[in-house]
Amino acid sequence: MALRFDEVKATQVAATILQKRGGKIHYVKLIKLLYLIDREALLRWGVPVSTDRYVSMDQGPVLSNVYKLIVEDKPKPAWSKYISQPLGDYEVELLCQCPTDRLSHAEEGLIDEIYNQYGYRNRWDLIDNVMHKLPEWTNPHGTSIPIHIREILEAQGEGEQDIKAVLRELRAMNSAEEALSLTAVF
């Protein structure tokens, strides 16, 4: 199931991490931290923070839309206002203070928790000793393979009833957002 990607919220999470890192971070490390935040939110609350799509790539799980925001040269209304294109050693930089009004206190706490747990690691340590050990990751050998929400939940031992409940809730959330966006147009 594909959720509606929230670029503004993903930007706010990324900017929060960048602030904790002094304003710069290698984009691979940023993407890994964002994945870990989304994964933990999904496991705890049944709803990821960014609502991105996930894929297995050679260096571990990746948030697909965030990856595209970083590497593709296309318009990015929210992202490019606050976060630079990759510079020098593939680092991204915080361009200016970013609001956090789309993040709940629980989400901000989770960002802090994941950053405190993994933020000190360099990107290679994070890839080799965390990302490649996640049970939902499959080595794609140079391509990418989708990671479905069901796979993340199953890999953590969630029962079928719980998985179905999470997926139902996410579908309902997606339908409600689509309905709201349609009414906003008319």
**Residue 54 forms beta bridges with which residues?**
63, 147
**Inside any domain, residue 1:** no
pLDDT band for position 129 (50/70/90)? very high
pLDDT band for position 173 (50/70/90)? confident
**Inside any domain, residue 86:** yes
Q: What are phi and psi of 26, to 5 degrees?
A: -65, 135
Q: Which residue has the higher pLDDT, 171 or 3?
A: 171
Instruction: Give yes or no for a contact between 41 and 109, defined as CB atoms under 8 angstroms apart.
Output: no
Specify the pLDDT at position 183: 53
Q: Which structure tokens are listed for 138? A: 């499959």
- Dump pLDDT digits (tens) for 4-58: 899 999 999 999 999 999 999 999 999 999 999 999 999 999 999 999 999 999 9
**Inside any domain, residue 129:** yes
Range of the domain at 57: 7-185
Place of tokens 């990607």: 5
Global pTM reads 0.92
**Inside any domain, residue 50:** yes
**Inside any domain, residue 156:** yes
Answer yes or no: is pLDDT of 117 > 80.
yes
Residue 106 Cα to chain centre, angstroms: 16
How many CB atoms neighbour CB 155 within 10 A? 15
**Inside any domain, residue 2:** no
Instruction: Give yes or no for a contact between 92 and 85, defined as CB atoms under 8 angstroms apart.
Output: yes
Q: Which residue has the higher pLDDT, 89 or 183?
A: 89
In total, how many domains does the chain have? 1
Answer yes or no: is pLDDT of 168 > 80.
yes
**Inside any domain, residue 106:** yes
